[in-house]
Every structure is written in C-alpha cells, then in structure tokens.
Amino acid sequence: MATRLPTTDIRIGTELIRRRKGGTPLVCLTAYTYPVARLLDPHVDLLLVGDSVAMVLHGHETTLGASLEMMIAHGQAVMRGSARACIVVDMPAGSYEESADQAVASARRIVDETGCQAVKLEGGVDMAAQIAAIVAAGIPVMGHIGLLPQSVEKDGGYKIKGRTDETIASLIADALAVEKAGAFSVVIEGTIEAVAADITRRIAIPTIGIGASGECDGQILVIDDMVGLTVDRVPKFVKEYADLRGVIVHAAERYASEVRSRTFPGPDHVFADSKVFADSKVLSGTHGGDDA
Ligand code: KIV
C-alpha cells in the first residue's frame, strides 16, 4: 500500500479512542479523499470513510450505492492522506448482514487492503453476532445504531428514532448488544436527544453522536455538510462552518469570465521562453511543468 505521508508511530488507535469515554469529546468527521484527509488529519481524533461517499461523491440516492471496492479505494486514499487520526472504514450494505463469516471476510479485506484501524457496520441486536465475530478475528469494530442510512428504504425514509417507549427500549437494547459484542465505540444517529444522552450514561464505550446529543462522548458530521459543500438536502442537525458552495461558484464565475475575456491565462501562467521545453523537468509535475 503506497503511503505519501511519512509513516509515524503517532496514529491514534482504537484503544485510545475507547479510553476517551467521558473525557474531552472526540472530534470525528467523514473523509473520502487524499487532499481532504490531509487537511483534516491534524484537527481530528478519528476520520470515518463513510458509505455516505456513495451519495456525497458519487451522486447515488442512498448509501446502498456503496460497494466494497468503492470503500476500499476511498479508504486507501484517506490512509495515504493521514498520519495521525484513527481511520475507520464503513462496511457497505450487502457485505456483512448475511453471516458472521461473510462479515469477517469483508472486514478482513477492508483492513488488509487499506491498512485502516477499524471497520464500522450498522445494526444492534441483529448484528451482534457479526460484530463479535469481526472482533474475535482481531479487527476493531465501531457500531452504528439509531437511524440507519442503509435501512432508509426499508424504513420508509429518514425517521428520527426514540419517540416511543418501544423504540427507546429497542435503542437501549441495541446499544447494550453492540457494547457486549466488543465494539470499541458506537455511532448514535438521528435519535431524540435525551435517549442518546441516556445511552451514553448506560454504556462504557464512547458514543459518537450525529443528530443525537451534545452529551455523547464525541461528535461526527459528514465533511461536505460541515463545510457547506452539500448541494442537495442539508439535514437539520448539520451546522455549516464554511460556505464552500459559495466559494466554488464564485471561483467558477471568475474563471469563466477570465477565460471568455482572455484574461486567463496571463503572463504568469504560460511558459514565455521556448527554451524551457528542452528542460526535462518541464511537464514533470502533477499537471505539467513546475519551473518558476
Ligand atoms: O456514512 C457515514 O457518513 C456515516 C456517518 C453519518 C456516521 O455513517
């Protein structure tokens, strides 16, 4: 596996994440690409290569568009772009639900081919056998309970969980099952606030909230939502810390205008001296020559 950043021994491991229970909140974000991983790595504890990549980068309607190959390719990119953060790669729908054996084989492929620290899968009581088997195979697992994006078609949409006694009981049972199965942490997504806070007090592993509660042991957001790059629906629980949509649209408008008016390329962006073409360094950078 190619690594473009220097290998370090400072990568945060899953045990360190587990020990952060009840401490300074864990800072987590999704990342799918090399440049974004490089930018985020110094600022976060954990980067999740979420199967939301299928929607965010590939334009699928749901996360069901993610494949094992897609997750591995993005996992490799994020590993190349990070040196410090704990990297967790999502197991896509269809890669683990069938049996514990299927789950272990898929998890092993993800870890072997990316070098990530852990995998994440969705489900509680119903996926406890899969979590236990992957953990027994020596691969750390992050759980994911509450609103499960891989099940939204089955559930009839993005529905907040924990509004009834029955769903509260089932969320608590899911959290306890994930903990008992050996997960090192659990994402709680899209629940009533008090339910996520209650679960956080009940279990000994860190809870990572998204649309859940400020009392969770950490928070996670989808990176494109957090930087204001999401072009479709922005969920209510998202806080946009930047306006990258505006930045990109403004840059595209200026670029289009300068190309049409022949203002770009200007003297600084062309090779004025024909001798440079004889120089073997020319055209050796990412997109061409880098001589000043
Ligand atoms: O795929 C993803 O981005 C996720 C987060 C929403 C937790 O699972």
Q: What is the 3-state secondary structure (H, E, C) of the chain?
A: CCCCCCCCCCCCCHHHHHHCCCCCCEEEEECCCHHHHHHHHHHCCEEEECCCHHHHCCCCCCHHHCCHHHHHHHHHHHHHCCCCCEEEEECCCCCCCCCHHHHHHHHHHHHHHHCCCEEECCECHHHHHHHHHHHHCCCCEEEEEECCHHHHHHHCCCCCECCCHHHHHHHHHHHHHHHHHCCCEEEEECECHHHHHHHHHHCCCCEEEECCCCCCCEEEECHHHHCCCCCCCCCCCCCCCCCHHHHHHHHHHHHHHHHHCCCCCCHHHCCCCHHHHHCCCCCCCCCCCCCC
Residue with the larger pLDDT of the pair 138 and 291: 138
Q: pLDDT tens digits for 11-43?
A: 999 999 999 999 999 999 999 999 999 999 999
What average pLDDT does range 43-57 have in this prediction?
98
The preferred substitution site among 44, 78, 90 for testing ligand 1, maximizing ligand atoms within 8 Å of CB, is 90
What average pLDDT does range 124-146 have in this prediction?
98
Note whether 160 and 82 are same-domain residues. Answer: yes
pLDDT score of 278 more than 90: no
Note whether 121 and 134 are same-domain residues. Answer: yes
Note whether 256 and 234 are same-domain residues. Answer: no
Residue 36 belongs to some domain of the structure = yes
d(CA 94, CA 100): 12
Q: pLDDT tens digits for 196-218?
A: 999 999 999 999 999 999 999 99
User: Confidence band (pLDDT; 50, 70, 90) for 272?
Assistant: confident
Out of 30-44, 175-189, 271-285, pick the least confident.
Answer: 271-285
Note whether 203 and 126 are same-domain residues. Answer: yes
Note whether 56 and 91 are same-domain residues. Answer: yes
Tell me what pLDDT residue 265 has.
Answer: 97
Tell me what pLDDT residue 232 has.
Answer: 86
User: Under a CB-based contact definition with an 8 Å cutoff, are residues 114 and 75 in contact?
Assistant: yes
Residue 54 belongs to some domain of the structure = yes
Q: pLDDT tens digits for 81-103?
A: 999 999 999 999 999 999 999 99
Could you tell me the distance, in angstroms and rounded to a whole number, from the CA of residue 31 to the centre of ligand 1?
10
d(CA 136, CA 104): 9
Residue 221 belongs to some domain of the structure = yes
Catalytic annotation present for 153: no
Note whether 34 and 111 are same-domain residues. Answer: yes
Residue 100 belongs to some domain of the structure = yes
User: Confidence band (pLDDT; 50, 70, 90) for 233?
Assistant: confident
Note whether 131 and 198 are same-domain residues. Answer: yes
Tell me what pLDDT residue 283 has.
Answer: 55
pLDDT score of 285 more than 80: no
Q: Count CB-CB contacts under 10 A for residue 189.
A: 23
pLDDT score of 131 more than 60: yes
Q: What is the largest CA-CA distance in the chain?
A: 77
Tell me what pLDDT residue 121 has.
Answer: 98
CATH code for position 127: 3.20.20.60
The preferred substitution site among 46, 47, 48, 238 for testing ligand 1, maximizing ligand atoms within 8 Å of CB, is 48
Note whether 216 and 151 are same-domain residues. Answer: yes
Residue 4 belongs to some domain of the structure = no
Note whether 215 and 273 are same-domain residues. Answer: no
Residue 85 belongs to some domain of the structure = yes
Q: Which domain holds residue 138?
A: 14-242
Note whether 235 and 280 are same-domain residues. Answer: no
Residue 6 belongs to some domain of the structure = no
pLDDT score of 9 more than 70: no
Among 61, 179, 189, 240, which one carries the catalytic annotation? Answer: 189
What average pLDDT does range 146-175 have in this prediction?
95
Whole-prediction pTM: 0.92
Provide the number of structural domains found in the chain: 2
